Structure 1
Amino acid sequence: MPRKRRPRRLINRYRQSRLYDVTTATYVTVDRLKEWRADGFEVIVREVETGRYVTDTVLPSGFDA
């Protein structure tokens, strides 16, 4: 039986580390990202200027602990 995928939240990171949730079209905080992860969402952070994915920089390993 295939695994059920976790819902995703795509976050754009702008200059000065501003985080923008594409789904709700609002700016969010790192604390909000932590809440989403705790609720089972897959949080993906992309740097707008370069297009690089920087999730591990914004939410390092052990972040949820």
Structure 2
Amino acid sequence: MPRKKRPRRLINRYAQSRLYDVETRSYVSVDRLRELRSEGYEVVVREVETGRFVSDEVLRPGFDA
């Protein structure tokens, strides 16, 4: 039986590391992203200017926006 997919949350990262949750239409903190992960969401962070996915970079320990 296949594993159930985790719900995905798309986060846009703007200049000065501002993080925008597309679903809730609000800016969020790195701490909130970590909370979402612990709640079972797959958090995907995309840098708006380049289109590059930077989830691992943003969510690594020691990163503070």
TM-score (norm 1): 0.90
- CA apart distance, 1:2: 1.4
- CA apart distance, 1:3: 1.1
Structure 1 residue aligned with 2:43: 43
Between Structure 1 and Structure 2, how many residues are aligned? Answer: 61
Q: Distance in 2 between matches of 1:52 and 1:20?
A: 15
- Identity of paired residues, percent? 72
Structure 2 residue aligned with 1:22: 22
Q: Distance in 1 between matches of 2:60 and 2:35?
A: 15
Q: Distance in 2 between matches of 1:56 and 1:33?
A: 12
Name structure 1 gaps, 5 residues minimum.
Answer: none
Structure 1 residue aligned with 2:5: 5
- CA apart distance, 1:60: 1.8
Q: Distance in 1 between matches of 2:57 and 2:35?
A: 17
The code of the aligned residue for 1:10 comes to L
Name structure 2 gaps, 5 residues minimum.
Answer: none
